[in-house]
Structure 1
């Protein structure tokens, strides 16, 4: 073959590759707290916010703890499945590689994390939102080194982004007198402080290529079992719920403003308050029979903040809205995810891919089996 023919073929091939760009799968990058953590904190050796003990994960895969703060899946797991998105592994997963990132994205969520760096300080180790963004920057450099700057830019701009934090900033910061923020701000001032911080964080993510983003609001956090048991009446804490509503209103306005201001951005606010509140207020309407106490508890000793091997499980995990003092059960997460998908009209984005598998064992009745069974 003549040299000029070979050269022509080579040039055409290179141009074709350049025009095609990155044929990467659409993935998601998740920034969050324990409601979205899929195992980061289990690799933080000094963290006091972990889900490493039975009976966490009892209704997921092999039934052993996997880092999720639930008996099964998270809301992010389920919504991603329904949209045809792969489940992103934890950033600290030892098996994480560049190829896995290109195939599945990354989950940076960390139990105890907040929008603010000072939130959840007594958990000792966790990834704050600023730290999660820093880790995302490192991920970007890995992918740039793997596939080149232009292809990496396309990959990250076509990905989906989830930001879901805020409850710890109240429950494990502002509402606790051991933190300076509890006496430094009033309610309105603290929400404004959160918004100023969140605005900077979303703007940084946008500058790093995030274009399609959902920023989730808070549910009625005054109705989680921990808040109920700390009240004198056992009812929901009104002030805590009012703070959640104030946060949601301010975040919705912030997201609207940023979506207009930031170039080529589509930033949506995910308001789950009404969905979760209706589930808690009318559990039997959705097939549940308990929405005020945890399935996994330490008998009458409450609050036992985490589920432990000595804890007693409820008779039917599928009938309890809450798994432990803080976190919903797999069944509740499934209902919440399905309601959010209907409410926001989330569409499948990877039609050729089947959803990731659901838990191998659905929630069942009866006491907890031995983890070796």
Structure 2
């Protein structure tokens, strides 16, 4: 579920056109994991958390891998498109310049990254939230040098911020015995450890100018194929789902507290658990035929970390909720994004431009 949830954050971005005085566009800065990664890990050559091989991107653009952990779009792409917003480029995109940042913002999301620095360490290369914030600080230096301190301060204080991480801290840390956190903490104390760390990170972002920020919660991550395969029955892992619920409850409380404590802040919590849970629990209601296994799989050898060239694809990708062991398919992302748009009441920023059309699904290699 990591991907469902995390990618939802684009919804809060860019609610205006220009900042008074600065005459800069209001843009968004995204901090996240593979649910919102649009190419950072693809450019981390040693990272094992990659979406750089076929069949990733098969239903997006030219059909080649683009860094998204999906066959097509992310939830963030779809929500942003529906609101008439530009898609923020990856921080590591070679074409990123000061002008691009001022026009589109930046996406620092990194597959395998977490709130904790130790999370996902076996992926070798990934950006933790602290690292993403460090990169954001570098971005601020560039913009100050470009437009001056006063205008830059207005630009960053007027921007929208999204933080969407957490699932890796459980799936690729606490729930894996190779990590010391798995035996150092119990369920309650680990969530407390996450909250203490996240509190410091959100306060740091505020000190850097983040005034309007949305933190997204987790979906039923115990129902992703990677978790189901750990059960002999193939059912969802309730312990993992309960951890997601505990995280959401604690994060909601933390965000409410910070919103009242930090000057001039508008910090909000976005909970998408119920939306995603309904899609997984009642796939037929939404036009899906499979909600428990990945469309792209490596036969009986599971779980595979990612979809690989030797993987076999399902016959009809539009009928599968999950694309790989972790992430939703383009069709599932579209449905979830539309449900979130209705739930949170998001509207288009520019009423003159029509939303980008959904990509036509490319034929499966077997067709």
**Take 1:31 and 1:49, find their aligned partners in 2: how far apart are those partners?**
17
Alpha-carbon distance, 1:267 to partner:
1.1
Tell me the number of residue pairs that the alignment of Structure 1 and Structure 2 aligns.
349
Match of 2:350 in 1: 351
Counterpart check, 1:132 vs 2:132? yes
Match of 1:367 in 2: 364
5 Å matches for 1:183-222? 183-222=183-222
**Take 1:197 and 1:355, find their aligned partners in 2: how far apart are those partners?**
41
Alpha-carbon distance, 1:362 to partner:
2.2
Match of 1:310 in 2: 310
Match of 1:324 in 2: 324
**Take 1:353 and 1:113, find their aligned partners in 2: how far apart are those partners?**
37
Which portions of structure 1, spanning 4 or more consecutive aligned residues, are displaced by more than 4 angstroms?
none
Alpha-carbon distance, 1:367 to partner:
2.0
Alpha-carbon distance, 1:123 to partner:
0.3
Worse overlay, 21-30 or 64-73: 21-30
For the 8 Å contact 1:222–1:238, the answer to whether it is kept is yes
**Take 2:357 and 2:25, find their aligned partners in 1: how far apart are those partners?**
21
**Take 1:98 and 1:358, find their aligned partners in 2: how far apart are those partners?**
29
Q: Describe the SS at the equivalent of 1:188.
A: helix
Alpha-carbon distance, 1:20 to partner:
5.5
5 Å matches for 1:228-243? 228-243=228-243
Q: Describe the SS at the equivalent of 1:278.
A: helix
**Take 2:228 and 2:32, find their aligned partners in 1: how far apart are those partners?**
24
Match of 1:159 in 2: 159
Alpha-carbon distance, 1:150 to partner:
1.3
Counterpart check, 1:58 vs 2:64? no
**Take 2:188 and 2:86, find their aligned partners in 1: how far apart are those partners?**
39
Q: Describe the SS at the equivalent of 2:284.
A: helix
**Take 2:145 and 2:72, find their aligned partners in 1: how far apart are those partners?**
36
Alpha-carbon distance, 1:369 to partner:
7.4
**Take 2:66 and 2:353, find their aligned partners in 1: how far apart are those partners?**
22
Alpha-carbon distance, 1:357 to partner:
3.6
Alpha-carbon distance, 1:355 to partner:
6.2
1:354/1:29 Cα in 2 relative to 1: closer, same or farther (>3 Å)? farther
**Take 1:356 and 1:155, find their aligned partners in 2: how far apart are those partners?**
26
Match of 2:68 in 1: 68
Match of 1:251 in 2: 251
For the 8 Å contact 2:83–2:355, the answer to whether it is kept is no
1:260/1:368 Cα in 2 relative to 1: closer, same or farther (>3 Å)? farther
**Take 1:177 and 1:81, find their aligned partners in 2: how far apart are those partners?**
40
**Take 1:56 and 1:301, find their aligned partners in 2: how far apart are those partners?**
19
**Take 1:240 and 1:319, find their aligned partners in 2: how far apart are those partners?**
25
Match of 2:96 in 1: 96
Residue ranges of structure 1 left out of the alignment (5+ in a row)? 1-18
5 Å matches for 1:73-92? 73-92=73-92
Match of 1:48 in 2: 48
**Take 2:321 and 2:351, find their aligned partners in 1: how far apart are those partners?**
33
Counterpart check, 1:276 vs 2:273? no
**Take 1:328 and 1:258, find their aligned partners in 2: how far apart are those partners?**
32
For the 8 Å contact 1:53–1:65, the answer to whether it is kept is yes
Q: Describe the SS at the equivalent of 1:79.
A: helix
For the 8 Å contact 2:82–2:356, the answer to whether it is kept is no
**Take 1:194 and 1:158, find their aligned partners in 2: how far apart are those partners?**
28
Residue ranges of structure 2 left out of the alignment (5+ in a row)? 1-18
Alpha-carbon distance, 1:351 to partner:
2.0
Worse overlay, 19-28 or 312-321: 19-28
Match of 1:6 in 2: none
User: What's the TM-score once normalised by structure 1's chain length?
Assistant: 0.91
TM-align CA RMSD = 1.6
